[in-house]
Amino acid sequence: MTYRETLDFLYAQLPMYHRVGAVAFKKDLTNTLALCEHLGNPHRAFKSIHVGGTNGKGSVSHLLAAVCQAAGLKTGLYISPHYKDFRERIKVNGHYIARQEVVDFVANHHEAIVRIQPSFFELCVAMAFEHFARQQVDVAIIEVGLGGRLDSTNVIEPLLSVITNISYDHQNMLGDTLPQIAFEKAGIIKPRVPAVVGETHPESAPVFLKKAAQTESPIIFADQHFRAVEKRSDSWEHSFYDVFKDEKLYLENLEMQAAGPFQSRNLATVIQAVEVLSREALPLHLHHLREGLRHVRELTQFMGRWQIIGTRPTILCDSAHNEAGLRLAFEKITEDTTPRRLHIVTGFVNDKDVDKALRCFPREASYYFAKANIPRGLDAQTLRVQAAAHGLHGSAHSSVKNALKAAKHAAAPEDMIVVIGSIFVVAEVL
């Protein structure tokens, strides 16, 4: 098969969560373990760091990968989902897996794929593990796909488990309460493997502490020790921080080639993780932290988070898609900018609690509603009606690109256009 035919096979034959939703989520590790066994257990051939959580796990994964690369470590990075190119999911030192390797993997293991019948995600995880083993990476950063306990990535024995935070998302699969969601996320804490939790929450912290006690895992909450204070900046894509450790200045004027209201929390998590890793597992030092964060986009091909894709008018896209992420995003947008007018291009998937999300959107904006080009995409006209009930008014469009085109046509040069609401909406404009 050609590369295009291989992707068509993967997308068409294997249940794919981001296209069809919960039916593609396998609630055990059987298929992943069978695939790994077939491949010779490649995940045991390299060191790894496991990153889960509700919000920020993609950013934290990229930031940690950048620090490891700055330290001279050959670094694998597995993320999901992808924006434009399937190969974004599997990178080594920022370089995508080769197209031919994707083709060869499916061709060489076609019999096992037919026999095991994995989901799309399960196969991607196995492909990443084999690639990292073949590339002989020094360390791989593995981002959890969904939840943690039953996620396909949870077959690894990492150097460190990182859980960024807990908030409401995917309740139909992870539970309706924060303790239930935390229980699923805590599943990546392994026996006697240290764990870093980014944020202390009264409902989730006891769950993590109980799990860590059961597994005899050292656990530390980053926000109890580190605090990153963002300094004023004229840039939408660079940010600068003073970092305090136990309320004493620890790092001054730390530059990050990323921005957004959530990055201060992510930064505290990353610094705590680097400190834990540097004690015994990896040769990471503060100058590697500075260098990695300063160049995170080019080192890792970090995209889709708080990214500027146009000027006059400014066009900002961000992958915030749940209540917690959207609230922070719009607080930042409305507090830090004074555009003459705000235009918002948005869309959702149909299994989200859209009403909760819409409560986070500002009423003082013009809206352009669109359906993401996936089966799970919520119909634009349906979304327009739901949004109107929340005082959010605008027009419905047949595609995200058409919605953005309409926003550009209506916007003055000094206005701001924000593309937000779903990773898959953002993917169509990058």
Alpha carbon distances (Å) from 391 to 345, 379, 395: 16, 19, 13
We find that the CATH architecture of domain 3-300 is: 3-Layer(aba) Sandwich (3.40)
N- to C-terminal Cα distance for the chain? 28
- Give pLDDT, residue 234: 67
Alpha-carbon distance of 284 to 65, in angstroms, equals 11
> What global pTM score does this model have?
0.95
Of residues 129, 137, 170, 98, the one with CA closest to residue 282 = 137
> pLDDT (tens digit, 9 = 90+) per residue, 303-339?
999 999 999 999 999 999 888 899 999 998 988 666 6
> pLDDT (tens digit, 9 = 90+) per residue, 250-290?
999 999 999 999 999 999 999 999 999 999 899 999 999 99
CA pseudo-torsion sign 306, 151, 164, 21: positive
Give the start-to-end residue ranges of the domains of the chain: 3-300, 307-427
For residue 266 the two structure tokens come to 């992510």
Answer for the pair 257, 238: CB distance below 8 angstroms, yes or no. Answer: yes
Of residues 147, 166, 143, the one with CA closest to residue 60 = 143
Residues of the chain with pLDDT under 70: 15-26, 169-173, 175, 234, 336-339
Cis amide bond preceding 206, omega within 30: no
- β-bridge pairing 307-310 and 314-317: antiparallel
| Residues in a beta bridge with 258 | none
Alpha-carbon distance of 81 to 163, in angstroms, equals 18
Answer for the pair 186, 160: CB distance below 8 angstroms, yes or no. Answer: no
The fold of the 307-427 domain, in CATH, is Protein-Tyrosine Phosphatase; Chain A (3.90.190)
Q: Taking the CB of residue 394, how many other CB atoms lie within 10 A of it?
A: 22
- Give pLDDT, residue 73: 98
**3-state secondary structure at position 140:** strand
Residue with tokens 């020094």: 138
> pLDDT (tens digit, 9 = 90+) per residue, 144-165?
998 899 999 999 999 999 999 9
Answer for the pair 129, 137: CB distance below 8 angstroms, yes or no. Answer: no
Task: State how far Cα 103 lies from the chain centre.
Answer: 26
- Give pLDDT, residue 13: 74
Alpha-carbon distance of 199 to 221, in angstroms, equals 6
SS3 labels along 2-67: CHHHHHHHHHHHCCCHHHHCHHHCCCCCHHHHHHHHHHCCHHHCCEEEEEECCCCHHHHHHHHHHH
- Give pLDDT, residue 340: 79
Cβ neighbors of 11 (< 8 A, separation 6 or more) are: 19, 120
Q: What share of the chain is helix, strand, coil (3-state, %, to 5)?
A: 45, 20, 40
Answer for the pair 144, 188: CB distance below 8 angstroms, yes or no. Answer: yes
Nearest-5° Cα angle at 125, 121 to 127: 115
Alpha-carbon distance of 284 to 277, in angstroms, equals 7
